[in-house]
Amino acid sequence: MAVNHPKTAFMKRTLTFSIALLLISFVSIAQEVMITPRLLYTQGKDVQQGKFEAGGIGFQFEGFKTPESKLGLVVTGDWQISGTETKRIDLNFNNSFGYTDVNYSSTMNKLTGGLIYVPLRGSFISPFVSVQGGVLWYRTKFYVNDPTNADYCRPETNRNVKTSFALAGAAESGLKFRLKRKDAIRQLYAQVAVGYTLGTKASYIKLGDEPAGENTLPYTSKFRMSNGQTHSHVIGTMYRTRTSQLVYSVGVSFEL
């Protein structure tokens, strides 16, 4: 199945422009900067319940005008793995029987920016809340191996890549625990948080063959017989839903 290249190229240009705009805003306003490397776990909810789960890493940048400021800018970038496995698929077609292995990996990436409010900033325990908007994208890679038996049909293209973008909004709340004395030159905090991400419709793929439905379609790849005849085999299930996810995170915040 081919990727919509013009749309993907447009989204990449839009993403590059958004990153530049966020960085310019961040550098021009922030004088007090904190960075938080985070471990992430994401669980699909609502229309993604039971269909999506991921884990990975992220980085959060917070910028404040002065040391006393409670309201600041926040920029968040996440990279998560939602699946990686190898599965054997049947290549049965027109009285020809066979099989091959498909290697699969899938990721979800997110870039958002917005405002963060820390009413007790600098305290031993500092609750915070943030509201952000931006873009996320799902990227799935398949590698269809050539069958070991030359009599079986063979894939026309071994590598299949599907990328799908969505606009997203995120709200997050959590706690920061100060790990140094209050008068330390550079502060260090432990952070725990939970957030909710809501996005427009996008496509993501998992291995397996599920019945077609309102939000599911078979994801196929073309194969060719030794006589030149072509046909398709299902190598996965493509879901097309809006994004609805809970995101849990733990991290360490430190001042730059």
For the stretch 193-211, pLDDT in tens is 999 999 999 998 887 777 6
- Buried/exposed code over 87-123 (b: 16+ C-beta within 10 A; e: otherwise): eebebebeeeebebebbbebbbbbbbbbebebeebee
Q: What average pLDDT does the segment 39-59 reach?
A: 93
Q: Which residue has the tokens 């306003």?
A: 29
Q: Which amino acid is at 66?
A: T
Q: Which pLDDT score is estimated for 37?
A: 96
Q: For residue 37, how far is the Cα from the chain centroid?
A: 16
Full-model pTM: 0.82
Name the band, by pLDDT with cuts 50, 70 and 90, for residue 7: low
Rounded Cα–Cα distance for residues 93 and 231 (Å): 8
Q: What percent of the chain has pLDDT over 70?
A: 88
Q: What CATH number corresponds to the domain at position 176?
A: 2.40.160.20
Domain coverage including residue 52: 5-255
What value, to the nearest 5°, has the Cα angle with vertex 18 and ends 17 and 23?
100
For the stretch 122-160, pLDDT in tens is 889 999 999 999 899 999 998 988 887 777 788 888 888
Q: Which pLDDT score is estimated for 9?
A: 59
Q: Which pLDDT score is estimated for 2?
A: 39
Q: Which pLDDT score is estimated for 3?
A: 42
- What contacts 232, CB < 8 A, 6 or more positions away? 220, 221, 222, 223
Q: For residue 249, how far is the Cα from the chain centroid?
A: 14
Q: Could you write out the DSSP letters of every residue in 78-91?
A: EEEEEEEEEEEEE-
For the stretch 60-100, pLDDT in tens is 999 888 888 899 889 999 999 998 888 888 888 777 777 88
Q: Which pLDDT score is estimated for 226?
A: 79
Strands 53-64 and 216-224: unpaired
Q: Which pLDDT score is estimated for 151?
A: 74
Strand partners, 12: none
CA torsion, ordered 191, 200, 210, 237, to nearest 10 deg: -90
**Domain count across the chain:** 1
